[in-house]
Structure 1
Amino acid sequence: MSGVRAARSDDVPALIRLVHELADYEKAPEECGLTDDQLHAALFGDDPVAGALVATDTGGEVAGVAIWFRTFSTWEGVAGMHLEDLYVSPAHRGAGHGRRLLAALAAECTRRGWARLEWNVLDWNTPAIGFYRSIGAGPNEGWTTFRLTGAALADLAGRSA
């Protein structure tokens, strides 16, 4: 039977495959260097920094994944959830896996008393944007995501000494 469940350590190879498929879909495969060891440590290590849910098909195969981490809102004074990756393999799209994954994340936020579930989407990904709007989500108008990585990150870190 298909459904959604918490990821298990034996799911890591399937999750790695899905994350790399997502990188290909987002036209950035060379930017994705995630390894089994890294993901295992992030999800199941001594100090987990992320959580993951998987959607399974009727045969129990991992069809999709939602990888998330906890955030905090100073204005609301409570935690929230940032969805880092939501991906359903092309062969399994249209079966409701994405909606079930998001519903399970929303239920987890509600259960924990968290204020929000948020994520980013590429501007050109109109199928995803349409899907997100269909479930009642909308863009965070007026905000632009900034990122500091690589040499710029190291350079700024060196200035703090």
Structure 2
Amino acid sequence: MNIRRGREADLPQVLALIQELAEYEQAPQEVTNTLADMQRDGFGPEPIFKFFVAEDAAGIIIGIALYYTAYSTWKGRMLFLEDLVVTENQRGTGLGRKLFDAVVAEARHMGANRMKWQVLKWNEPAIGFYKKLGAHLDPEWDNGNLSHEQLHTYACDPTVEAAVTGPIE
């Protein structure tokens, strides 16, 4: 198996692994991301994510680690690991560790002061994986989200929204 930086040509296989993860998490209907979205957001004029892939000897992608740079008001630059996915028949082979190691190495290389990720409370195999690596899973924080629909129906203060969407000074 080979770990390398992701390329645009990898995106169809990456999206398939994302859909496999959604099936595992019993939420396949929640994936609204498209290949065009990923091409724009990862390889367009302002890329907002990067990823590593694990591929087998035949060049089939069997794992991904998708991440992006974030910023902590307390700690500064940080790396957020959005998803670490290993195809089902490759779990337990050490592949997840290699992908995690690649992301840790990237965080060090970019000068990050912190690396964060989330794990579902019911996902015992993933929790065990992260604990085995010595990671701290923080029980004090809850996640906040607004869905696509909620974003578009949320009542922003009109003067604030005009200031944000107006011309850039």
Aligned equivalents of 2:139 and 2:47: distance in 1? 31
SS of residue in 2 equivalent to 1:153: helix
- Determine helix, strand or coil for the equivalent of 1:103: helix
Indicate the residue corresponding to 1:44 in structure 2: 43
Shift of 1:154: 2.1
Partner residue of 1:136?
Answer: 134
Provide the rounded CA distance (Å) in 2 between the counterparts of 1:143 and 1:83. Answer: 17
Q: Is 1:110 aligned with 2:97?
A: no
**Equivalent residue number for residue 87 of structure 2:** 89
Greater shift after overlay, 20-29 or 91-100? 91-100
Give SS of 2:152's match. helix
> Unaligned regions of 5+ residues in structure 2, if any?
159-169
- Aligned residue runs from structure 1 range 1-161, under 5 A: 2-76=1-75, 78-156=76-154, 158-161=155-158
Q: What is the CA distance between 1:33 and its match in structure 2?
A: 1.8
Alpha-carbon distance between aligned partners in 2 of 1:131 and 1:115, rounded to the nearest angstrom:
22
2:163 is aligned to none
The residue type paired with residue 67 of structure 1 is L
3-state SS of paired residue (1:63): strand
TM-score normalized by structure 2? Answer: 0.88
Instruction: Provide the secondary structure at the position in 2 that maps to 1:159.
Output: coil
Q: Deviations over 1:115-136 (max 9, x none)?
A: 1111111111000000000001
Deviations 1:24-67 (A, max 9, x none): 11100011022111111111111101111101123332110111
TM-score of the aligned structures, taking structure 1 as reference length: 0.93
What secondary structure, in the 3-state scheme, does the structure 1 residue paired with 2:99 have? helix
- Whole-Å Cα distance in 1 between the matches of residues 152 and 32 of structure 2? 19
The number of equivalent residue pairs is 158
Question: What is the distance in 1 between the residues matched to 2:15 and 2:44?
Answer: 16
Shift of 1:72: 0.7
Query: What CA distance in whole angstroms lies between the structure 1 residues aligned with 2:17 and 2:64?
Result: 7
User: Distance in 1 between the 2:28 and 2:18 partners?
Assistant: 10
Amino-acid identity (%): 37
Unmatched 5+ residue regions in structure 1?
none
